[in-house]
Chains A and B, each alone.
Chain A
Amino acid sequence: MLSRTADNLFWMCRYLERAENTARMLEVNLQMSLLPHDPQARDGLWRAVLRISELETAFDAAYPATTPQDILHFMVRDPANPSSIYSCLRNARENARSVRGNLTTELWETYNQTWLELQRHLRERYPERHPGEFFEWVKFRSQVARGVTVGTMLADESLCFQRLGIHLERADNTARLLDIKFHEQADLKAAHDAMEQRQTSNETEPALLERAGSAHSEFYRWSAILGSVSALETYRKVYRDVISADRVAELLILRADMPRSLVASVNAVADDLAQLRNDRSGETERRAGMLAAELRYARIETILDDGLHPFLDRFLQRINDLGNRISEDFLVPLA
């Protein structure tokens, strides 16, 4: 297969998966923001979306205020934001268009149709009028594309590169989602510090953090995260117990049978790399296999004791490294 074709297939899937995950994340935030919050906590919630995706600087440069509407606008339809749903779906379709000859007709039409419908939705202000339904639509179109892929594509190299794109992106996105709590608190603390400079707060910092992280909001936050990866029912089924942070982390990091977990995504990456092996890719395959093995034999207690945020941070670096190595070994090397 042409390296450029593989590159297009890989990115076509990464972008669609990213659009889906952005929609999932925004949907959760939308639901969370309906819960009773003080205004700072609510803002923190929305700022966290930007932090997760490392888009804070780009956002602040272009938007004077941080209203939920601004952030939704930025994350849904802003063409200047390379991670907006608009940009992702456009890039997915552009990549599909340049390899349309390698896709089944049905698959190409699915990508094309998604793009055409998106343009109509944006014209008709669907995301603004019915954000929840719009996010459902994004998820649904991504699921349809995956279904059509599995249902019509020959199980060859081309399918492997598509899966590689999906799972690498998903590993990245799930890790970022799990880190949302860290980003929220960081933001809350920043807001608090700023406030302190202006006036003397009679509330102490630990108290503030505690309030934000009270058992009550803790429960809703983690159930929202579960909901965003469609894992609420799975959680109940697996644990048959109340929702707690360590179990959610375990489910989304270490459960190999959980389709959006880190270990499941990394396992899939390692499997596909084994199938795609060429004479340059040995080291990449080894690193993927190593990461999969570490996750397989890890314990959630150890991870949490050492700190979830540093763990996820390291994980994201390794995923990024795998992405670069895959480009070097198989695709069009990044300039």
Chain B
Amino acid sequence: MKDQTSVRVAAYDEMIDKSGGIRPHYQRFNDWLGEQSAESMMTRRLEADINFRRVGITFSVVGDEAGTERLIPFDLIPRVIPASEWRVLDAGLKQRVRALNRFIYDIYHDHDIIRAGKVPAKQVFTNSQYRPEMQDISVAEDIYCHIAGVDVVRAGEGEFYVLEDNLRVPSGVSYMLENRKMSMRLMPEAFNRIKVEPVAHYPDLLLDNLRESAPRGADNPTVVVLTPGMYNSAYFEHAFLAQQMGVELVEGRDLFVERSTVYMRTTQGPQRVDVIYRRVDDDYLDPLSFRGDSALGVAGLLSAYRAGRVTLANAIGTGIADDKSIYLHVPEMIRFYLGEEPILKNVPTWQCAKPDELSHVLANMHELVVKEVHGAGGYGMLVGPGSTKAQIDSFKDRVRANPSNYIAQPTLSLSTVPTYVESGIAPRHVDLRPYVLCGKDIRTVPGGLCRVALREGSLVVNSSQGGGTKDTWVLEDASC
């Protein structure tokens, strides 16, 4: 007789097919794993833990005491993606980001898509993510979302869906790189047998991408990474990327603006800055233009930006395109701007702002995932099937009070990958965040950050909610 656990784990498993066989692209890894003793895998897991802590790959948790650092658990069993599947994903991601970039340009220039009636004006211009300051400003090379982190999940019979386009300051790429380093260090023999596409050149692509989008006239542009500081949850990543690119990691107080030019304070006097890869949200960038109480930003930065004297990556105002109320229009954007059919699917989405869709959501909340339109990081959301009646009822009140702040989606049964848990190895739900760089070309590295919900049955993979990570192996063509 099947217990409840195995019923719940009816999701698509990336490694094991319905009849219990190993899928072909996992065969070699499974063979290798079969040869390892339980103790040797245990030793490797401990070693991974020790190494991550020693290297200081930690993150801080919102609400915890300042300076508290936690490790994101790393799971040794990789998510393996066959070359054929990656080709489709890759094409779909590039298509999507190309259209999104065109959309942002359009929103801050001619509004073609609105005049064509494809996206309602109200949803754009009354959106808190719309930045009127950006209207008719030209940015270098017309690039807005230099770095995108697109969350992709696999559900049902194995089809891919895009869950979210992160176009503001997507994080996590350092874990993609560090996870690979750790896997190669702990399982070198596996890499001997299995040809995995490398990802380590990401920082070089990123630097290239940033230099390409420098303001006109800057030959040999100076690039910096702008961080909110060492108590930010992603500080490790900011420092890591700056170091890997060989550029300065600056805080707001290291920069100043004079005659519409941005400088950093150095031991040899002021030095001009051309490109800022900023990991600070729009609201905190410039106390003169946005939040006056921000100590993270640089006074006058917006004026230098509007004068075209400095590039911000990502641009100000990209949030308008990854907002959850705009998300449902992305397939239409792809058709409108590119004249192509979308390669990757959207998850069906109900807008609580519309009365008939709201009543559907309220009636079926126990089966749905309800999200705040501007929420991120797994905060402010409800997963219907995993919630109590009381939780659902109180969430309904919140939605009723401010319907346009919420959208709902069916609860997708995310695919699973076998994962180390206390009782051995068991399937756990995963997602995938590949990173897309948008410069003169659109580029990706084969792979991404694979997040895994470590709690049994949980669908929430965010690290702030107890998620872990896995390495993602995209196989080279010949392997599969």
Contact = CB atoms under 8 A, between A and B. Distances in A.
Q: How large is the interface on A (under 10, 10 to 19, 20 to 34, 35 or more residues)?
A: 20 to 34
Contacts, number: 57
A278 B269 contact: yes
A97 B248 contact: no
Closest 4 CB pairs of A and B: A101-B243, A101-B239, A3-B265, A330-B267
Identify whether the interface residues of A are mostly helix, strand, loop, or mixed: helix
A2 B266 contact: yes
16 contacts: A1-B266, A1-B268, A2-B254, A2-B267, A3-B266, A3-B267, A4-B250, A94-B230, A100-B239, A101-B239, A101-B242, A102-B243, A108-B56, A112-B56, A157-B267, A278-B269
Contacts of B53: 116
Contacts of B54: 109, 112-113, 116
A188 interface: no
Contact of B55 (A6, A109, A279): A109
Interface string A118-154: 0000000000000000000000000000000000000
A230 interface: no
B243 A6 contact: no
Interface residues of B, number: 22
Contacts of A108: 56
Interface string B54-71: 111000000000000000
Nearest to A90: B67
A97 B243 contact: no
A2 B269 contact: no
A3 B270 CA distance: 10
A3 to B, nearest CB: 5
Contacts of B56: 97, 100, 108-109, 112
A48 to B, nearest CB: 34
Nearest to B239: A101
Contacts of A116: 53-54
Given A94-B230, A97-B56, A112-B54, A1 B242 contact: no
Nearest to B229: A98
B8 to A, nearest CB: 39
B87 interface: no
A4 B243 contact: no
Q: Which of B240, B242, B248, B266 has the most CB of A within 10 A?
A: B266
Contacts of A1: 266-268
Interface string B269-309: 10000000000000000000000000000000000000000
Nearest to A105: B55
A322 B229 CA distance: 29
A276 interface: yes
A91 interface: no
A330 B55 CA distance: 30
A4 to B, nearest CB: 5
Given A113-B54, A157-B267, A278-B268, A5 B239 contact: no
A1 to B, nearest CB: 5
A116 B49 CA distance: 14
A278 B270 CA distance: 12
Q: Which of A101, A105, A278 has the most CB of B within 10 A?
A: A101
Nearest to A276: B267
Interface in B238-258: 239-240, 242-243, 248-251, 253-254
A246 B268 CA distance: 43
Contacts of B239: 100-101
A91 B158 CA distance: 51
A15 B54 CA distance: 21
B72 interface: no
Interface string A1-16: 1111110000000000
Contacts of B55: 105, 109, 112
Interface string A29-40: 000000000000
A331 to B, nearest CB: 8
Interface string B219-250: 00000000001100000000110110000111
